[in-house]
Amino acid sequence: MNENIIPHTFQISIKDRRVGNKHNSFLIWFTGLSGSGKSTIANAVELELFNKGIKTYILDGDNIRKGINKDLSFSPEDRTENIRRIAETANLMIDAGLVVLAAFVSPYKKDRENIKNIVKDVNFVEVYVNTSIEECEKRDVKGLYKKARAGEIQNMTGISAPYQAPESADIDIKTENTTVEVAVKQIIDFITPKLKLENE
């Protein structure tokens, strides 16, 4: 019963951890179709941050859907639960003082809104990796679109399941006319002021 769970107060706080790391902690959330470029851009942003001494971690399909969420499918209900668990995991990592980069299709607006409730608005940066379905299908990095067209994959986002595009993402990257380098610069420029601790 939830009312019987009484949280402990530990001596080391989120603030202590942030001061120890010399930077703020928050979540950078990448949303977009499969093959839009979420992992490629998140990876390049992490490399840049890591080289500046920022403590980071990437959450993506490989470490989540093959581990903690391996029981979940691509039904709307399971996608909602997928995003909820990832947001809770990210929240712990924010608490641990990290800049977390999360790259998930996250096709439903209400699920992305719920992330803000879990990690709090101030800790949430939304990046829309805005690539058309035509381009993603042309790239077909993993051959999934071909399989979806052949009816071998159900609920494929953009083909047989919806993608609800963000209307006011913090950063909107149109990868069809933006290089990875330019996208990384756009993101780094946006988040740099957020890395600063209060009273710095």
Binding site, residues? 32-39
Q: Which is nearer to ligand ADP, 141 or 197 (CB)?
A: 141
Q: Are strands 124-129 and 99-103 parallel, antiparallel or unpaired?
A: unpaired
For residue 37, state whether it binds ligand ADP (rule: CB under 6 A). Answer: yes
CA dist 12 to 26, 54, 95, 119, 120, Å? 18, 20, 10, 19, 20
Known binding site for ATP: residues? 32-39
Structure tokens at 149: 């067209």
Residue 157 lies near ligand ADP (rule: CB under 6 A): no
Residue 153 binding partner per list ligand PPS, ligand ADP, none, with a CB distance cut-off of 5 to 8 Å that depends on partner kind? ligand PPS
State in angstroms the smallest separation of the CB of 186 from ligand PPS.
20
CB 14 within 8 A of CB 97: yes
Of 21, 25, 31, 40, which one interacts with ligand ADP (CB under 6 A)?
40
The least CB distance from residue 49 to ligand ADP, in Å, is 17
- Identify which range of 35-43, 49-57, 68-76, 148-156 contacts ligand ADP by CB under 6 A: 35-43
Q: Find the residue with minimal CB distance to ligand ADP.
A: 37
DSSP of 2-71: GGG--PPPPSS-HHHHHHHHTS--EEEEEE--TTSSHHHHHHHHHHHHHHTT--EEEEEHHHIIIIITTT
In the list ligand PPS, ligand ADP, none, the entry touching 107 (Cβ below 5 to 8 angstroms by class) is ligand PPS
- Of 54 and 102, the one with the shorter C-beta distance to ligand PPS is 102
54 within 8 A of 99, measured Cβ to Cβ: yes
Closer residue to ligand ADP (CB): 98 or 183: 183
Judged by the rule CB under 6 A, the positions of this chain that interact with ligand PPS are 34-35, 38-39, 61, 65, 74, 79, 82-83, 104-107, 142, 144, 153, 155-157
Catalytic residues: 106
Inter-axis angle of helices 180-195 and 38-51, to 10 degrees? 50
Q: What are phi and psi of 103, to 5 degrees?
A: -120, 100
Q: Count of residues for the chain?
A: 200
CB 119 within 8 A of CB 87: yes
Q: Which residues bind ligand ADP (CB under 6 A)?
A: 32, 34-41, 103, 129, 139, 141, 175, 178-180, 183
